[in-house]
Amino acid sequence: MIPMKDKKPISQREARKEAQRYKWHFEPPWAEKFNHDHWWVKNPKEATLIAALWEMFRRHPDILPIIDTDRIPTSLFQVFAENNWFKNWLQLTASNRNDWREALVEIPPQCGFDPRPIYSITLQSVHHDHVVYQQACMAVDPQLIELAKTDEDAKRILDKSIKRREEEIERLAVKHHRAGRVLIAINPDISDLEEATRALTEYYKAHRRYSSSGADHKSEWLESIKSFERNIAELKRGENINANLFTSYRRTLGKLVFPLGDILC
């Protein structure tokens, strides 16, 4: 998806077409099932960040290829979206909400949200549930390092392993970058989750140059959804959509990045 700031100005005709695309859930056959209740007005305490993300994702036009298809879902995100797109947050059961939290693991970090707090791309990738996934070519055998000090064959093997390791690090760094993540170089040999967490915490204490979290803006996002959708519901025949409300709505949903299919956990 192209970030909103990168989009070129569009003509009025293109703008109308874009508006039509974003209000798909007001059109048949979707409108009959889609719940447009703005529940957060009366239940602000329920409006958590993950609840706001659900309300944003289920309205985004890019969810249509997921729910309007005969293909078998291939991810938790797709399964959840296909089964629940028409439900608002309050209609989801406790089990549904847990499923949504699990499905969110598959999306790139965005909107101040990332369920996977720590990565070590040099030795391993740490999943949100602390399960460790070893990466190919990443671990260099300490015994090989010692042997290479006196053995030429071992040194050649070590040099080759280090080269492959560097190539893998470079590959993973590009994947993380394309997924919208910020990589912080702390120590290339940290592999323990607690040690990495401490190092990252110290980094944040020393460098407080990161943007506000999505939790600070979720009320603005939900307000944008409410204002635009009320405008749609109150339109009379022949009237045009409020351009300012649509721009805000599109910008809000435009923050979202859908799973890329091969995101590294």
What does 130-141 look like in DSSP terms, one character per residue?
S-EEEPTT----
Q: Is there a domain that residue 260 lies in?
A: no
152 plus 127 within the same structural domain: yes
Count of the separate structural domains present in the chain? 2
Look at the pTM and tell me if it is higher than 0.75. Answer: no
137 plus 220 within the same structural domain: no
Residue-wise pLDDT for 171-218, tens only, equals 777 766 665 556 666 565 665 666 766 776 676 565 544 344 556 689
194 plus 163 within the same structural domain: yes
Is the pLDDT assigned to residue 223 strictly greater than 80? yes
Question: What backbone phi and psi angles, to 5 degrees, belong to 3?
Answer: -60, 150
Positive or negative, the Cα torsion across 209, 179, 187, 156? negative
Residue 134 pairs in a beta bridge with 124
Residue-wise pLDDT for 108-153, tens only, equals 767 766 655 445 555 444 333 333 334 444 556 778 888 888 999 8
Whether the CB-CB separation of 229 and 36 falls below 8 Å is answered with yes
**Cα–Cα distance for residue pair 6/103, rounded to 1 Å:** 28
pLDDT band at 255 (very low <50, low <70, confident <90, very high): confident
83 plus 180 within the same structural domain: no
34 plus 157 within the same structural domain: no
**Cα–Cα distance for residue pair 51/100, rounded to 1 Å:** 9
Positive or negative, the Cα torsion across 216, 221, 224, 230? negative
Cβ atoms within 10 A of the Cβ of 228, count? 25
Q: Is there a domain that residue 76 lies in?
A: yes
Q: Is there a domain that residue 262 lies in?
A: no
Q: Are strands 119-120 and 124-126 parallel, antiparallel or unpaired?
A: antiparallel
56 plus 74 within the same structural domain: yes
Distance of alpha carbon 164 from the chain centroid: 29
Domain that holds residue 83: 4-111+213-253
25 plus 47 within the same structural domain: yes
Residue 120 pairs in a beta bridge with 124
123 plus 192 within the same structural domain: yes
- pLDDT value for 61: 94
Q: Is there a domain that residue 261 lies in?
A: no
139 plus 158 within the same structural domain: yes
- pLDDT value for 173: 72
Residue-wise pLDDT for 24-62, tens only, equals 999 999 999 999 999 999 999 999 989 999 999 999 999
